Amino acid sequence: MKEDVFNQYVERVIDLFNITKEEFFSKTKKRNIVDARQLVYYLCSERHIQITYIQRYMIDNGLNVVHSVVIHGIKRMNKRIEEDKDYKTIANEIDRAVFI
C-alpha cells in the first residue's frame, strides 16, 4: 500500500515538474529534478512512510539513494514550504489528489 502512495506521488510530481519518470530516477543533479525528488520525499514523510521504504522504492526504480540524502531532501523541502507558500499549496494539492 505504501508503495502505491509513493508511485502516485511520483506520477503527480513528474507531471507538475514536466519531467519524465526516467529523468526523475536518473542520477542527474539538475535543480528541477532534485526539487521534484525532494518534494516526493517530503510528501512521503508527511504520510509517515519510513525513510527505509522511500529508499527501497527509489532503488527499485533504478536510483540508489542513501538515508542521508532522503533526510536532507525532507529538511530542505520543509524549509522551502515555510518560506514559499506556493510550495505548501502544491504539496497540499498533490496530497489531496493521492488516493488510499
Give per-residue pLDDT as tens, 20-41: 999 999 999 999 999 999 999 9
pTM of the model: 0.94
Number of independent structural domains in the chain: 1
Q: Is the dihedral of CA 22, 16, 31, 1 positive or negative?
A: negative
Q: What is the pLDDT of residue 87?
A: 87
* Residue 11 structural domain: 2-97
Nearest Cα to Cα of residue 10 among 52, 68, 62: 62
- Report whether 99 contacts 12 (CB < 8 A): no
Q: What is the pLDDT of residue 95?
A: 87
Q: What is the pLDDT of residue 13?
A: 96
Residue 53, classified by CB atoms within 10 Å of its CB into exposed (0-12), middle (13-18) or buried (19+), is middle
The CATH number for 10's domain is 1.10.1750.10
- Which regions of the chain are under pLDDT 50? none
Q: What is the pLDDT of residue 96?
A: 87
